Structure 1
Amino acid sequence: MFRRRTIIIPARYGSTRFPGKPLVLLNGKASILHTIDVARKVGDIDGVYVATDDDRISAAVEGYGCTALLTSASCRNGTERVAEAANILGLHDDDLVVNLQGDAPLTPPNFIGKIFDLLDERPEADAATPVIRCGAENYLRIGEDIRNGRIGATMSVFDSQGRALYFSKALLPHGSSVETLVELPVYHHVGLYGYRVRCLKAFPYLPVGPLERAERLEQLRFLENGHGVHIVEVDDDGQEFWELNNPGDVPYLERALPSGKPSRSDTD
């Protein structure tokens, strides 16, 4: 069966922790444009779109040769925004969508391909997301953010069949340390989600539970309503993954990203 493979990048201007971050310059180029570059490197896809409610973001995206979809300001999170965009595009229930977070320009393109592949290979999986096993440097940076009151990386724990048990802004599991990482792995969740469209369309109508409200993590809505989320362990190939969560992340991302101003592309 033919299934469309679509990447939708949700981006809003009014982030509580970091307003305007899709347009924050990283080496002279808006961060959302770096994320579009990531999506364009993924093979075997049918389209890349940015879903936003902000005209400034839309203008930057369209000027870069990528299609912007104007979505409602009432969307409560990126998944709801991606669901609305899927409806605008007229995607079918069995089509596949990856939600590539607009604040994750260091996402390796092969992570996205692995999410699409899992959904293709496992028809029982309606939602999937990747994790990276933490090394010492990544683990220490996450711990430093927590100690300093910065809300940053998300952690994940999952069962022996690769199904998510929980996601948290706290370090999981309890009792882990740099010294125990070999026998007690710690997994950094990558803010990247794949869905079968029927699952994605149902998401906005699921009740918001207390865990989602407390953690401010939308993927917990699936778990709190009895829906499985499949985990894909991925390898960062030596490039430490990090997101643009706080202004203090800008220098790190600028060191890791290529320099250069945006240039128009007509590939979308």
Structure 2
Amino acid sequence: MSRKRTIIIPARYGSTRFPGKPLVALNGKAAILHTIDVARRVGDTDGVYVATDDDRISAVVEAYGCTALLTSGSCRNGTERVAEAASILGLNEDDLVVNLQGDAPLTPPDFIVKIFGVLDERPEADAATPVIRCGAESYLRIAEDIRNGRIGATMSVFDSQGRALYFSKALLPNGSSVETLFDLPVYHHVGLYGYRVRCLKGFPHLPVGPLERAERLEQLRFLENGHAVHVVEVDDDGQEFWELNNPGDVSYLERALPSGEPLRSDTDRC
């Protein structure tokens, strides 16, 4: 039996950090639709789905010609929502799923291809996620957000084998600066995850630890429960990667994204 490769985009309306952000207009088009476009540009997949608990998001997604899966309002984070969606789809334990977060419309499709590739090549990896090495501009932007109390980028540190050691909303490692970036690199975590379905389906049943609660980062649940998360360094090819975390990110994303386009018809399905 061949292994399926599926992209699931979790999206909820009631984000505590930025309510309604999947439907925020970016150049005249809802943010979630820009993210669907990213997924559609990835070749060799068995389907693209949006997992949501909100009828408003579902209606916009379906009108764009993509399938929305209605999931429970009790899901605590995107990974739990993706796990439920994988069960709805009846995916097998050896299948692979990429969680493309709905607030990351600048994600290059090649990042998704690389995550699928890592899971194919490294059977010991329960999950995989990409990072970008910060340049001076992105480092200063992240540092400014932290100084101003804005919850924004996530940072990552990992071992010599590429296994994640920690993720944080704080700048890591401590002591880094623009002047030390060459010798002490800083890595910006991209909100994109790949999982083996057998690991993904077990995620909602893992205990939530103090690190996940403190950082409010779901990927720490894997680390706190002994699962191997492999980190993949990717190249942004000169385009600074940024997510829709705060209302102030809208203007930046609009400069980086193409203009809106007409909605696709129901006959053009994901």
Give the Cα separation in 1 of the matches to 2:63 and 2:116. Answer: 28
Give the Cα separation in 1 of the matches to 2:159 and 2:201. Answer: 26
Partner of 2:143: 143
**What are the superposed Cα offsets for residues 123-182 of structure 1, whole Å, 9 maximum, x if unpaired?**
111100000000000000000000000000000000000000000000000000000000
Q: Give 2:201's aligned amino acid.
A: K
Partner of 1:37: 37
Query: What does 1:73-112 correspond to in 2, within 5 Å?
Result: 73-112=73-112
**What are the superposed Cα offsets for residues 193-230 of structure 1, whole Å, 9 maximum, x if unpaired?**
00000000000000000000000000000000111100
Q: How far did residue 262 of structure 1 move? A: 3.7
Partner of 1:215: 215
Contact 2:67 2:269 in 1 (8 A): no
Q: How far did residue 267 of structure 1 move? A: 3.9
The 3-state SS of whatever aligns with 1:221 is helix
Query: What does 1:244-255 correspond to in 2, within 5 Å?
Result: 244-255=244-255
Q: How far did residue 81 of structure 1 move? A: 0.1
Q: Give 1:89's aligned amino acid.
A: L
Partner of 1:183: 183
Query: What does 1:1-268 correspond to in 2, within 5 Å?
Result: 2-264=2-264, 266-268=268-270
Contact 1:96 1:195 in 2 (8 A): yes
**What are the superposed Cα offsets for residues 99-123 of structure 1, whole Å, 9 maximum, x if unpaired?**
0000000000000000000001111
Give the Cα separation in 2 of the matches to 1:156 and 1:124. Answer: 20
Contact 1:155 1:172 in 2 (8 A): yes
Runs of 4 or more above 4 Å deviation = none
Give the Cα separation in 2 of the matches to 1:221 and 1:122. Answer: 21
RMSD: 0.7
Contact 2:124 2:228 in 1 (8 A): no
Structure 1 unaligned residues grouped into runs of 5+ = none
Give the Cα separation in 2 of the matches to 1:262 and 1:187. Answer: 36
Identical residues among aligned pairs (%):
89
Give the Cα separation in 2 of the matches to 1:169 and 1:10. Answer: 21
Q: How far did residue 261 of structure 1 move? A: 3.2
The 3-state SS of whatever aligns with 1:247 is coil
Q: Give 1:104's aligned amino acid.
A: A
Contact 1:51 1:69 in 2 (8 A): yes
Contact 1:33 1:262 in 2 (8 A): no
The 3-state SS of whatever aligns with 2:248 is helix
Give the Cα separation in 1 of the matches to 2:3 and 2:59. Answer: 30
Aligned pairs, number = 268
Give the Cα separation in 1 of the matches to 2:150 and 2:123. Answer: 38
Q: How far did residue 2 of structure 1 move? A: 1.5
